[in-house]
Chain A
Amino acid sequence: MAHIHVPAKVPVRYLPRSATANMVFGIMVVVGLVSFVIRLGQDPTQAWISYVSNWLFFTSISVGGVIFAVATWLTKAKWNWSLRRVSQSLVSFLPFSFLLLLPMLTLREGYFHWITEMAGDPILQAKSAYLNIPFLLARNVVGAAVLFGLLLYFVYLAIRADVGHTKGAEHGDEARASWRKRLTQGWAGQAEEEVKSYHRMTTVGPPIVLVFALVMSIFSYDWAMGLEPHWFSTMFGPWFFMGGFWGGIASTVLWAMYARTTDKDIANHIGLQQRHDIGKLLFAFTVFWTYLFFSQYIVIWYGKLPWEQAWIITRSAPPWGKYSLMVIFLCFIIPFAGLIGRKPKMNPRILGTFAAVVLTGLWFERYGLIAPSLYHEGDPIFSIWQPLIGLMFLGLWMGSIRWFLTTFPVLQVWQPMVDPETTDAEIRVDEDRGYAAG
C-alpha cells in the first residue's frame, strides 16, 4: 500500500493573473456569440443544436469534475490532496451554465418535435404527463438550481476553511483579499472552521451524488433522448452522467497539467504519484464509458425491436456512421491504447494530451446525441459553426476556471489530515508508527 505524503504545511499558490488570457477568453466569447447570432439568422435549428450540445458538454464535464471532488472526499481519498481544488474549480462555470440554460427554455416546436407530433400520435399522448412544456421548464430550472446550488455550497465549504491560511499570502491582490473577507463572515477560528467544514462536506456529499444522478438524467432525457420521442433507453441517463464524470476527471488532468507549468511548488506537489493515480482513473473510466456504451448497444442490436433500433441505425448508417466511428476512436480506442502503460500516465504532457483527446471525443459525442435526431437530408453533418459557437462556451469555461484558480489557492491549503472521527488513528500510525491513545 502506497503511503501518501501530505506536507504538514501546504504552500499557498495561485495561478498568475493575466490580462492577455482574459482578453483571449473575452474574444472567444464574443466570436462565439456573434457566430451564434449569425447562425440563428441562417438556420435556427442548426444554431440551437450547436448551442445545446455545447451546453450539455461543458455543463456535464463541469458538474462531473466537482462530483469527482465529492466522490474522492466521501471515500476519504488522500492521494488527490493536491488535485482537490483543481476539481472543485470547475464549479465556477456553473453560474454561467445556469444563465446559458435560460435561453434554451424558449425552444419550442423547432427543437422539440414532440410538440407538433403529439396531436396525431396516441403513443406520444400517453406520455404527455412528462412531455409538456410547463413541466419541462420547471424540472430543468429547479433541477439545475438545486444541483448547481449544492455543488457551489460544497466548494464554498472547502474554500472557507482555507481562508485562514491565505491571509498574508495573497501578494497584495485586492480581489483575493476581498473574497477572503466575504468568506470569513461569522468566522469561528481556524480549527473550528475546519471541523465544521469537514462535517458539513461529509454530510452534504451523499445527497449531492443522488441529486447529480437524478438531475443529469433529466437533462439527458429532455435535451437528447426526447428528441426522438418514441425512443427510450434506461441506460441513457447513466451513460450520459458517467460520461460527464469521466470528462470531469479529464478536465482535472488538463487544468492540473497546465497549473504545473506556472509554478514550481505546484509542479512538485502534482507529482508522479498524483499523475499516475489520476491517469489510472482516466484509463479506468475510458473503459467504463465504453462498457456502458456497449451494454446499451448490444441489447438494442440483439433485440432488434423497430422502435428501439431506429436511434442506433440513425447513428450507425450513412451519413452518420463515420462520425460515430470517429467518436468511438476518440473516446475509446485512442485513450485505451495510449494510457494502458505506466509511463504515459506519469508523463505530464502525454497524460494531458490523452485527457484532451478524451474531452474532444466527449464533445463530439454530445453533438452526436442530438444532431442525428434532428437531421434532415441536406443538412450538414458537421460544420464550422459547431466549434465557432462552442468558442463562447469554451471562453466562459476557461475564463471562469482560470479566474477561480487565480482568486483561490490552486492547492487546497487546508487538508483533512485529522479526520475528527475515523482516520486519526490511521494518520498517526503513518506518521509516527505508533498508536494514538484512545
Chain B
Amino acid sequence: MTTLNPAERPPLTPTERGALTHPDVERLSDVNRDVLAILGRPGKGWWLLFALAVAGVGVFFGAWFWQIYRGIGVSGLNGPVGWGVYITTFVFWVGIAHSGTLISAILFLFRAPWRQAVYRLAEAMTVFAVMTAGIFPLIHVGRVWHAYWLVPYPNSRFLWPNFKSPLVWDVFAVTTYFTVSAVFFYLGTVPDIAAARDQAKGLRKKLYNVISLGWRGTDAQWHHFGKAYIFLAALATPLVLSVHSVVSWDFAMSIVPGWHATIFAPYFVAGAIFSGVGMVITLAVPMRKAFGLEAYFTTKHFDALAKLCLLTSLIVLYAYLSEFFMAWYSGEEIERTAFWNRLFGDYWWATWTMLTCNGLVPIMLWFKRVRHSIPALFVISIFINIGMWFERYVIVVTSLHHEYEPWAWGIYRPSITEMSIMVGSFAWFSFWFLLFTRLLPPVAIAELKEVLPPPMRKSATHQEAH
C-alpha cells in the first residue's frame, strides 16, 4: 500500500498519468491535421488487408451461393441440432454491435469523457456488425427467397407471422437497432465530414458536400446538433438493453434445458457489451499504430475500456455460476444432466474454452500493469472474442444436442460451408470497416477538441502551462 506524500513522488510521465490527450496535441488544428491525414492515400498495408477482405467476402458469398444451389443439406444442421454455427455467429455479431451504442449513448449520458476517442470507431463497428449479423438469419433459413415471410405486411390472405414467436420480435429488434444506430452514427459524423469537406478535392469533395448536409458550424447548427444528439442518445439507451434481451429470449422462451433461464436477458446484454468492448480494443490497437494515433488513444482510454471489460466479464461470470448453481439447486434431473453434460459431455472443450476466455483470462485485467500494456490488452481482447463466440456455440449446440429424450440425442459437426461462411463474415465486416477508415473521419474530431485548451490570443496558455 502506497503512502507516499504526493510532493515526494517522482513526476508521472504522460502515459502513467493517463491524460485524455497527449501533451503533443497542442492546437485544435492539430486534431484536424492528424485525423484528416488518415483519409489520405492509403498505404500498402491497407491495400493488402483490403484485398484479403475482398477475397474473404468472395468466400462468404461463394459458400452461401453453394448452399443455396445445393440446399441446406451442405451445412451440418440436422436433427436434433437445428441451430448451429449460423445462429451462433448471428448472436456473436449482434453482441459485438452492442458496445458501440453503449459507448456512444450510455457513456455520453453518464458524461464519461474518455469515450470521445473511441466512440466513432465503436459506432461504425456497431453498424457494420449489425449488417453482418442481419445476413445470418437469411443464410440460416435456407430458402432465402422466403425470408420476407418474417415481415408483417397486409396481404390478401390475412397471413401474418406468428407474433408470439421471439424470432419475429428479433426482426423488429434488430431492424430498429440498425436504424437507430445508423442514424446516430451518421448524425455524429456530420461536423467531421464538414471538416473533411473543407480539405478535400475532386470527387471526394462532391461526396462530402452532399453528406455533410451544408454544415457550417454556426451557433444555430451546433445548438440543433446538440439537441438531436442527446435525444438520440436517450432513445438509443433502452435499445442497448432491449435488443440483446430479445435475442436472449430466442432461447430462454423455449423450455430446452440450458436455454430456459430467467437471467438470460441481462446475462446476454452483459456478454454483448463484454464482447463488443473486446472488439473495440481489437480494432483500436492496430488503428492506433497504423494511423499514428498514439496521441489520441492514450493509456487512459485503454484503461477505461479494460475496466469495462472486467466489469462485464464479472457479470457474465456471475451468470455462469448462478446457472450452474441453479441447475444443481433445482434438483431436477434434466437440468442437472444438461449442465453436467455441458461441462463434461461431448462438447466439454467448447465449454472450457468459454470459461477460460471469459472468466479466467479477464482476471488479469485486475492488474493495472496489464491494463496499461497495450500489447497485453490486444491479446486479451482476442481471447475475449474467441470466448464469446464459444459461449454462444455452447449455449446453442450443447443444449440442443442433449435435450429431454435420450433417443433424440445427437452430435453436430459444422460443415466446411458453415465454417467458410463464419470466417467470411469477419471479412465482410472488415471490408466495410476498412472502407470506413478511409472515407469518414474514424476519430471524432469535434469531440476531441472539447478536451483541448481553447485557443487564446498570443497562445498564453501554452507558454504558462509548459
Contacts and interface: CB of A to CB of B under 8 A. Distances in A.
A200 B3 CA distance: 10
B447 to A, nearest CB: 9
Interface stretch (B174-182, B345-353, B386-394, B448-456): B448-456
Nearest to A430: B451
Q: Majority SS of interface residues in chain A?
A: helix
Contact of B262 (A191, A230, A234): A234
A421 interface: yes
B23 A296 contact: no
A38 interface: no
A436 B465 contact: yes
Given A232-B329, A303-B255, A422-B17, A210 B314 contact: yes
Contacts of B263: 233-235, 238
A296 B262 CA distance: 5
A426 interface: yes
Interface in B235-288: 238, 241, 245, 249, 252-255, 260-267
Contact of B255 (A2, A189, A235, A305): A305
Interface string A402-438: 0000000000000000101110111001001111111
A184 B111 CA distance: 36
B27 interface: no
Contacts of B318: 213, 238
B220 interface: no
B450 A1 contact: yes
Contact of B17 (A304, A305, A307, A421): A421
Contact of B14 (A210, A237, A438): A438
Contacts of A199: 1-2
B111 A124 contact: no
Interface string B1-35: 11111110101111011111001000000000000
Contacts of B300: 422
B322 A234 contact: yes
A238 B266 contact: yes
Interface residues of B, number: 62
Given A296-B262, A299-B264, A434 B453 contact: yes
Nearest to A291: B241
Interface in A225-273: 230, 232-238
Given A238-B263, A422-B300, A434-B461, A303 B19 contact: no
B23 A303 contact: no
B25 to A, nearest CB: 10
Among A189, A234, A287, A304, the most chain B Cβ lie within 10 Å of the Cβ of A234
B451 A126 contact: no
A188 interface: yes
A117 to B, nearest CB: 12
B331 interface: yes
A217 interface: yes
Given A195-B6, A238-B263, A421-B17, A429 B451 contact: yes
Contacts of B451: 426, 429
Given A192-B5, A195-B5, A305-B255, A433 B461 contact: yes
A287 B2 CA distance: 41
Q: Which residue, of A196, A304, A420, A438, has the highest number of chain B Cβ atoms within 10 A?
A: A438
Contact of A123 (B20, B331, B466): B331
A11 to B, nearest CB: 24
B338 to A, nearest CB: 14
Nearest to A122: B331
B167 interface: no
A206 B332 CA distance: 35
14 contacts: A191-B6, A195-B3, A200-B1, A234-B323, A295-B265, A296-B262, A299-B252, A299-B253, A303-B260, A307-B332, A421-B16, A421-B17, A422-B303, A425-B19
The 8 tightest CB contacts between A and B, nearest first, are A434-B465, A234-B263, A235-B262, A295-B265, A425-B19, A123-B331, A126-B331, A296-B262
